Copies of this chain bind each other. A is one copy, B any other.
Amino acid sequence: MTRSAAREPRPPAEVVSLTTDYGLADGFVAACHGVIARLAPALRVIDVTHLVPPGDVRRGAAVLAQTVPHLPPGVHMAVVDPGVGTSRRGVALGTPEGLLVGPDNGLLLDAAAALGGVTGAVELTNPRWLAPRVSATFHGRDVFAPVAARLALGAPLTDAGPAVDPATLVRLPEPLVRRVPDGFVAEVLTVDHFGNVQLAAPAELLDPLPAQVRVRPVTGDPATDDDPTAVDGWEREAVHGRTFGDAPVGALVAHVDSTGRVALSVNGGHAAELLAVDPGTLLRVRGLGVVGDASGQHG
């Protein structure tokens, strides 16, 4: 982003969205709503979620990135911020389809990519944009909410603070996805409220597989774990389907979820409990009836 681009007048945003790990039992979320409402009384605020597990930046990043494409153009504030009050930077990022505001800890970058990529970044140091007294532990209220409201009203991004080189923004490690001869290995990215297990793998890795697949955890190095006979633990069959109801009740289905990623679900059940997997677990999905079929164990 050139300085002139960042200073171009923007129309006011239609919405500010909020994504945090603040929970719903305290007044933290309401204090952010209040700060925004004081500065921008007519602005619509949409809560994405406030139940990101405390400090789980990766989970916050995934929810945010998967939700912002469905929100109106606006300013997306996200706070999962275990480093609050330390030297970590607070930043605002420009993208072709909206602005992102939050800590510089990797939380915002997947969402920025989903909105077209980072076109500019600033560090939030302009004291006139912040609360008169910034607390050491509640930057949602004192830094990010007032910045989000001012940006939503159309203030230039560069008025929030000095430009930051996007290459210096903190990034999360990429989740592992690897094509293997009879399928793919991928990291569990998220587990949702229903227990659906979302893998980091895109649809095109599942699409070519046959109507029945097998799923098993990868416990060794995925680069060398290419022998499907080396099953260390369970392996489960799954229907390769479109939706939950394509498998019998209680059975596993591998499908492409509503974000375009491969997911494992149980019709009427909780796949993450059935599989005993968590975000970060590596799973191997392979076509049934292809390489190594005879030796597979069935879960």
Contact = CB atoms under 8 A, between A and B. Distances in A.
Contacts of A193: 22-26, 28, 54
A31 B67 contact: yes
Interface stretch (A39-47, A170-178, A277-285): A39-47
Contact of A26 (B44, B49, B71): B49
Interface in A249-273: 255-258, 265, 267-268
A257 to B, nearest CB: 6
A82 B17 CA distance: 29
Contacts of A192: 23, 25-26, 28
A142 B260 CA distance: 14
Contact of A258 (B19, B48, B135, B246): B135
Contact of A37 (B29, B72, B255): B72
Interface of A: 14-15, 17, 19, 22-31, 33-35, 37-38, 41, 44, 46-52, 54-55, 63-64, 66-67, 70-72, 82-86, 135-138, 141-142, 190, 192-194, 242-246, 255-258, 265, 267-268
A147 to B, nearest CB: 16
Nearest to A64: B27
Given A37-B71, A82-B268, A137-B244, A30 B55 contact: no
